[in-house]
Amino acid sequence: MDFQKIVADILETGMTQTELARRCGNGTTQGHISAIYTGRRRGDKIGYRLGDALVKIHRRVMRKKVVGSGVVSESVKDVASAVS
């Protein structure tokens, strides 16, 4: 998994490295996020908890980014039509 890309995507949404570290929890620091972002810390050096947290945060922020941009997936359209 390309954690460097995941972190870059998250930061492109406007979240700071400090905020991302706080959301990851488990003692993650801004320095940890910076090391991943710059490539000094690779996937094999990222623990399961941090990796899992980054993936979950990435899913959440990318979902918000897509919904906020007006792009709606077919599954969302299906749910909307079923409800109305």
pLDDT of residue 44: 80
Q: What is the mean pLDDT of the chain?
A: 84
In 3D, which of 77, 23, 78, 11 has the Cα closest to residue 50?
23
pLDDT of residue 84: 35
In this structure, are residues 6 and 54 in contact, taking their beta carbons and an 8 Å threshold?
Answer: yes
pLDDT of residue 79: 41
* Cα–Cα distance for residue pair 67/62, rounded to 1 Å: 9
Residue 77: pLDDT band with limits 50, 70, 90? very low
pTM: 0.76
Query: 55: which 2 tokens?
Result: 């993936």
